[in-house]
Structure 1
Amino acid sequence: MTAAASVVVTGLGVHTAVAAGTDAFERALRAGRSGIGRREADGPHEPCVSADLADFGLREALDAVPGLPAGLRSAALRTAGRAPLGVRVAVATAVQAHLQAGLGTPGGPAPGRTGLVVAGHNLTTGYAESLYPKLAASGAYVPARAALHLLDTDHLGVLSQVLGITGEGCTVGGASASGNVGIITAARLLALGAVDACLVVGALAELSTLERQALVNLGAMAAGPAGPPGASPQEVCRPFDEDRSGFVPGQGCGALVLETEESARGRGAPVLARIAGYGLALDGNSQADPDERGETEVMTAALRMAGLAPQEVGYVNAHGTGSALGDRTEAAALRQVFGDGPGRPWINATKALTGHCLYAAGVVEAVATVIQLRGGFVHPNVNLHRPIDPGLRFVGRTARPADHSYALSNGFGFGGIDTSILLAA
C-alpha cells in the first residue's frame, strides 16, 4: 500500500469569478463559461483584464450555502466580517467543504484530530498597499488589527476559530504550485496518523499594483487583449494556443477535506475521490523559467506512487497558464510522459475560465478535476484555436463526455517548484 492510498476526499468548496459553490461551478465548467472581464487599470502599463470577484459580501456568500447552521454563520460573521477580502472568501469557501464532509457534527472527527492547511503566501500585499494612504495621513489611522491581518497566519487563525479546528495546522507556500503543495502536506499528515481529517484551503491572492506591474514586465502576465482585432476579454487567456500572450490573473479560493479512508468509512462520510499519488520536486532553479525534466519527473512520480501505467490516466488538468514558455514546456513534458499514441489522456486548462488563481490554483483545479471525474465529462479549452502541439489530445472548444478513473492535476511555480496530484474516482 502506498502512503497516499488511504487518503480520500470527503468535502469540496469553491469560489471563483465564474461560480461559487460546486453545483454552479460544475455548470460553468460544462458550459465553458469564462469569468474573465475588463478591469480598471491603475497605470498605463497595468493589465486591463482579470477574473475578479465582483462585489463579494461575506453575509451574502454564507446565505448562499445550503444548510449552514445559524451558529456557524454567526461565528463566521463575528470573526471574519471585517477581515481582508482573502480571509472572508476563505471562510465562505471553507464552510462549503466543511459542511459537505460533515466535520464538526456528532460522529465526525474530534476537533483535535482535525487539521488545517492554508496554501499560499504573500497573501495580503494588496491589503497592505491599501493602508499606505492611512499611514501617510497619520500613523494613528492605521488599524491595530492590521498587525494580524498582514500575516499569512491570519487565515489559519480565523478559519480554525470559526470552524473549531484544534489539530495540527500550518500555512505552506510554493508560488503557483502552493495549492498542490497544500494537498500533499495534508495527505502526508493523514498518512503519518497526525490527524484523521484535514481541511485544505487554497487562499485568494490580493495582488498589489507593484506585483501586477512586475509580472507584466517579466512577460508572465498578459497586459491586455490578444488575438484577432476586437477580441473580447474572455479570449485573452489562451492556454496551449499559438496566440497566447501570458496569464490572466483570477481571484478565487478552493477547499478540500481530505480524510483517512478508515475515518470516512467508519462514519459514513461521502467519498468523492481518492488521492492515489503525488509528486513534488525542485528544479534547482531560482528563475521563472520552467523545466521539462522536473515537470516530467513529478508526473512520473505520481504514477509510480499509484502503481499506474501512463495509459491508465484518462485526463490531465494542466497547469496551462497561457504563458509562452510555460505552456510549451508543459506540452513537451506531457508528451514525454504520455507519448502521442492512442492511449493519450484528454488535456484541458481551467485557467482559461477562472483566470490564474495563483496560490489557490492547485486547490481550485483539484476541485474541478474531482467534479469532472464524478460527472463523466471534460470541460472545454474555450480559446484553443491553434494548438501548440497537435499531437496531444486537447479537449476542443466544447465539453466532451469522458468516463475515466484517474486524472492528474499539475501545478508549477516560480522558483522551480513542480507538483502533480493523481486523483482517482
Structure 2
Amino acid sequence: MTTEKAPRRDRTRVVITGWGMVTPLGLDAATTWEALLEGRSGIGPITQIKADDLPVQIAGEVKDFDPREHLAYKVVRRTDPFARYAVVAAMEAVENAKLSLDDTDRTRVGVLIGSGYGAMHTVAGHTRDIDAKGPRGVPPMAAVAGAIDSAPGEISMALGTTGPSRATSSACASGTDAVGEAARWIRSGASDVVIAGGADDIITRVDIAGSGNARALSARPGDPTEASRPFDEDRAGFVMAAGAGVLVLESEEHALARGAHILAEVAGYAATSDAYHWTAPHPEGVSVRRALREALKDAGLAPEDVDYVNAHGTGTQLNDSAELASLRAVLGDHIERIPVSSTKSMTGHMIGAAGAVEAIIGGLTINTGMVPPTINCHKPIDPSVNFVAHKAQAHDVDVVMSNSFGFGGHNAVVVLRRWVA
C-alpha cells in the first residue's frame, strides 16, 4: 500500500468529487462500471450509419441514448452527438459531486473538454445539405454546432459557469490532457472547480472508411465482442467507439469547505510528443517513457508506488508492444507485481473520451478495490505480466497510472491516488 507515503503538500492539491459517463456499456457511470466488472463487451454491428460497404462493420456505439430525456429540444436540435454525450456526462458528474452551483462562485468554475475530432456527424450532415439543397439548406447554427468547442460551450451554458471554458484536442490523448490541464488550472489559482473530460463520436462513414483503409481497425471475422484484443498475440487493430467521460475537479480547500466527499486525488500529470510519425509510436518509446516518468515525478511518487496501470492498450500490433516495453523500462520488474489492464477490450476506443473515461475507471478502482479485466486476452504477449485476463480481480489499489497515446505522437499520462487528508 502507498497511503503511508505522504502526498505532496507544497502546492494546491486537486481532488475529484464527481464523475459521469456515457459509453457503449451504459448511459451512466454506475451501469458502465457494472458492465466492466462483469467483463461485458459493448461492441457490435454498426447500426447508426450505412456500413455494408465499409471496410469494417463493427463499433462500440452508444445504445438506447435518447437526448430528449436529458436536454431541451433546441439543444438537441443544434448539437452533435458527441456534445450531447458530454453535456449528459457533465450533468451526472455535477450531481454526483453534489455541487450546488447556486452556492458556488461561478466565475471560479471552468470547463475543459477534450475531443479528438469534434462534431463529425454534424459536419457530414451539413455537407450533404449544401450539396442537396444549396447554401440556403445549411442552418444558421452550423458553424457553432460543427465546432470542436461546442461541447464545453453547451456545458457552460447549461450550468451557468462563467470561468474559462474551452476545448483541447490531442487525438486519443485528448481526455487525459483535459483532466491534466484542468488540474493545472486549479493549481495555478485560475479556477477553484473545473468540469473536465472528453467526448467523441466518429462512427461516421468517412472516419470508419479512413481508419479502416489505414488498417488501424480490427476487421476480425466472427463475434464482434471478440474483436478488441489488447495485449493478445492475435490482436488485429482497435475498434472505433463513441462516448464521454467528465469529472468534477476541485481544489482540496474548496472541496473540504463545502463538505464534499472526495473520491480521489489527481496527483500527477505529464504530456510529451514523439515528433516521429503520424500513426506509429516511436520504436524506442523515448517520449512515452518520459511522460511516464514525469507524471510520477509530478505526483511525488516512485515507480514501485504504482498499484495498477490502466493501459492505453488499443489492440494494435505496434501500440501494445511499444506501451508494454515503455512500462517495463520505467517500472522495471514491478510491472510483474501489479495488474495492467485495458478496458478498451470492452468499450472499444472512444478516442477523445477514452482517457477521461479511463481516469474515472482508475478512480473507481481505488474506491472499490476491484480491477476491471482485459477480455479476449487468451494469449498474452508477455505471460509474466498480469493483464487481468477475462475476469475482474480484487486488489488493494492506492495509486493508478492511466495512459493515453494518440495519433500524431501525443502522449499523456495521469496519476491518481487515494486521497489522504
Pairwise same-fold verdict (TM > 0.5): yes
Q: Does 1:244 align with 2:227?
A: no
1:149-203 alpha-carbon deviations (Å, 9 max, x no partner): 1111222221111011100111111100000110111011000000100001311
1:25 corresponds to which of 15, 24, 32: 32
- Check the 8 A contact 1:32/1:379 in 2, yes or no: yes
Q: Residue 121 of structure 1: CA displacement?
A: 4.1
1:79·1:162 contact (CA, 8 Å) conserved in 2?
Answer: no
2:201: which partner in 1? 205
Q: What is the distance in 1 between the residues matched to 2:124 and 2:130? A: 10
> Is contact 1:290-1:329 (8 Å) kept?
yes
Report the 3-state secondary structure (helix = DSSP H, G, I; strand = E; otherwise coil) of the residue aligned with 1:271: coil
* Per-residue Cα deviation, 1:270-300 (whole angstroms, up to 9, x for no partner): 1000011111111122421113121111111
TM-score normalised according to structure 1 size: 0.91
Distance in 2 between residues matched to 1:319 and 1:122, nearest whole Å = 18
Gaps (5+ residues) in structure 1?
63-75, 226-230
Count of residues in Structure 1 that have an aligned counterpart in Structure 2: 405
Structure 2, unmatched stretches of 5+, are: 1-7
2:135 pairs with 1:128: no
Matches within 5 A, 1:5-404: 6-40=13-47, 42=51, 44-60=53-69, 62=70, 76-82=71-77, 83-107=79-103, 109-139=104-134, 140-225=136-221, 231-291=222-282, 292-341=285-334, 344-404=337-397
How far off its partner does 1:103 sit? 2.8
Alpha-carbon distance in structure 1 between the residues aligned to 2:225 and 2:41: 6
**Cα distance, 1:344 vs. partner?**
2.7
Preserved CA contact (<8 Å) 1:335 1:392: no
- Residue 28 of structure 1 and its aligned partner are, at CA, apart by 1.0
- Counterpart CA distance in 1 for 2:100 and 2:164 is 16
Describe the shift of the 1:79–1:164 C-alpha distance in structure 2 as closer, same or farther (beyond 3 A): farther
CA shift, 1:21, in A, is 1.6
- Aligned twin of 2:5: none
CA–CA distance in structure 2, aligned partners of residues 26 and 44 of structure 1: 34
Contact 1:126 1:209 in 2 (8 A): no
CA contact (8 A) 1:4 1:188 kept: no
Q: Kindly indicate whether the alpha-carbon contact (under 8 Å) linking 2:186 and 2:193 is maintained by their aligned counterparts in 1.
A: yes
SS for the counterpart of 1:33 is coil
Amino acid at match of 2:393: R
The offset of 1:204, in angstroms, is 2.0
Query: Which amino acid is 2:19 matched to?
Result: L
- How far is 1:390 from its partner? 1.6
CA RMSD, Structure 1 to Structure 2 (Å):
1.8
Hey, what's the Cα distance between the residues in 1 that align with 2:314 and 2:58?
Answer: 14
**Superposition TM-score, scaled by structure 2 size:** 0.92
User: Which portions of structure 1, spanning 4 or more consecutive aligned residues, are displaced by more than 6 angstroms?
Assistant: none
Distance 1:262 1:382, change over 3 A: same
Tell me the alpha carbon deviations over residues 72-126 of structure 1, each in whole angstroms, 9 at most, x when there is no partner.
xxxx41552212212222111110001122334454x311000000111431222
CA contact (8 A) 2:358 2:402 kept: yes
